[in-house]
Amino acid sequence: MSEGLLLPPIPERTVPQVLARAAATSPDHPSLLDDTTSLTSSEVWDTARRRAGALLDVVGPGGRVLTMTDNTVDGALTWLGLASGGMVEVPVNTAYHGAVLARQIQDSGATAAVVEAAYLDRFLAASEGTAVRTVVVRGSASVTTSGRIAVAPATLLDDAGIPGGLPAVDGTDPMALMYTSGTTGRSKGVVVSQAHAYTYGAPQLLGAANADDTAMVVLPLFHVGGQWAGVYNALIGGATAYIAPRFRGETFWADAARHDCTYALLVVAMATFLHQQPRRADDAENSFSRLFIAPVLQEAADFAARFDVEIGTGYGSTEAGTVFTAGFGQARPGGCGWPRPELQTRIVDAEDTPVPDGATGELVVRTSQPAIMMSEYLGMPEETATAWRGGWYHTGDAMYVDTDGQYIYVDRLGDAIRRRGENVPSADVESVLNAHPAVFESAVVGVPGASEHEVLAAVVLRPGRPLDPTDLIVWAAERLPHFMVPRYIRVIDELERTPSGKIRKRPLREQGTGDAWDRERAHVHVGRDGVRMAGSA
């Protein structure tokens, strides 16, 4: 936690309080910028209030508004306006279409939406038969009505005046309906409060940003990582947030230097991509001082030295908020950090009995401040009760507590691999496979075996680099315990990911092993003494 910074009382953890405070104390400080726009703190507060007033006229206090917008200052202003007016934002993945999009619109119960013109046609098609009655379009669109849905131009928001007053907003009030990534099943709408969002992104917990920082936001704003740990973190800390259109690996360092970015939050796939690029003599001559990477890449020490940055990390979820953090310079591979204030955490077995330190079990979380964790899955009382059984939120993540009290991530419970009586941490196997010269990235899953699991590795190759599966097995056997070495290798073009960059492993398991290379069938045997092949002594 940052020195000297304390979290404000729950009622004060709200977007309007953050924006009003920044406008009063540093009105001319650059607050939000993208590749075409730059706004000061006072301009952000004025615009947020105008949008709040305009949208309140459409949906009223507490109304739900879908947002299907790009990573821009304008997109950020829409959710800030909704939060400032006490409405509930429902951010939508901009890649959604068809039945998936229709289900989320229907499930949310939202009556209005703010949508980019590029997504309007598929949004309107998916909105048929839902509660949506008004769609505000960002950009040019010729449609004015679509059945019972009125399509309004962006001038509805842009030309509105600053209202004389807005509804009072408390930290316990609902602020957003955030849908989970759906890695373990159907995506669920998480009802979160103003205080929940504030606490997730608070620089007092994440260690960044402060008034001297420019944060680079590369995660999508429809995800909590981009919206709360990115933009909101900077706003709370009085920093500047540069909102990039997306993560652009080839121009990442140049984009950051152009805006003097000092801090960014990256998912591990982004950091790995950057580290896999050819080394340059000026790698350390970048604008960053700190990078928050979750989870930490295995080559963290080399990465930090190469780019002359300190690495921090943490662990959290849409439902539980930020649970663990490790300060800059304290992060290490596998580690999630230490529990933050206001939370209690345990590692439990299948019967919810606490296990001793060092033993792997499920992470469960609870708090005496209900507003800083999810209240429910919208319209899913059984799923809510299951997640909160015994008064503890069950994360579904397998972890253990290390000797220094740090929590170590093992895997999703559904992704946990058990082979020959031993746990196989997929991240450890993936780290070794990814270091092979022909491998760009990999994902490791457990598939049914004769008794427990067998290990399957899905591998994406570097361009122009062929792979001999036997060579990869030998490579792995030289660096891993024998029981962790994959039995099956499947070469694929790319790994399927959630919007936040997490690999979807369920499809890899469901595909089975029929099309995979099998080392046993190829007579490549791995034991305690190494690799033995057919015909070898």
Between 147 and 421, where is the model more confident? 147
Handedness of CA 271, 294, 8, 19 (dihedral sign): positive
**pLDDT digits 0-9 by tens, 282-306:** 999 999 999 999 989 889 999 999 9
Q: Is 515 among the domain residues?
A: yes
pLDDT band per the 50, 70, 90 thresholds, residue 536: low
| Confidence (pLDDT) at 187 | 76
Domain stop point among 194, 213, 246: 194
| Confidence (pLDDT) at 132 | 97
pLDDT higher than threshold 80 for residue 397:
yes
For the chain, the average pLDDT equals 91
pLDDT higher than threshold 60 for residue 274:
yes
CB neighbour burial string for 137-151, b if at least 16 within 10 angstroms, e if fewer: bbeebeeeebeebeb
What's the mean pLDDT in 317-329?
93
| Confidence (pLDDT) at 76 | 98
Residue type, 90: V
Give the span between the Cα atoms of 290 and 312, in whole angstroms: 7
Q: Is 60 among the domain residues?
A: yes
**pLDDT digits 0-9 by tens, 465-489:** 999 999 999 999 998 888 889 999 9
Residue type, 528: R
| Domain span including residue 81 | 6-194
| Confidence (pLDDT) at 535 | 59
| Confidence (pLDDT) at 13 | 97
pTM: 0.83
Domain stop point among 135, 170, 194: 194
Give the span between the Cα atoms of 308 and 302, in whole angstroms: 10
Give the span between the Cα atoms of 233 and 207, in whole angstroms: 10
Give the span between the Cα atoms of 391 and 386, in whole angstroms: 10
Q: Is 265 among the domain residues?
A: no
Q: Is 227 among the domain residues?
A: no
What's the mean pLDDT in 481-510?
87
Structure tokens at 344: 């209690």
Q: What is the 3 state secondary structure string of 306-358?
A: HHCCEEEEEEEECCCEEEEEECCCCCCCCEEEEECCCCEEEEECCCCCECCCC
What's the mean pLDDT in 507-523?
93
Supply the CATH number for residue 430's domain: 3.30.300.30
Supply the CATH number for residue 33's domain: 3.40.50.980
Q: Is 274 among the domain residues?
A: no
Q: Is 347 among the domain residues?
A: no
pLDDT higher than threshold 70 for residue 2:
no
What's the mean pLDDT in 100-108?
92
Q: Is 263 among the domain residues?
A: no
Domain stop point among 145, 162, 194: 194
Residue type, 400: Y
pLDDT higher than threshold 50 for residue 130:
yes
Q: Is 209 among the domain residues?
A: no
**pLDDT digits 0-9 by tens, 399-419:** 999 999 999 988 778 777 878
Q: How many domains does the chain have?
A: 2
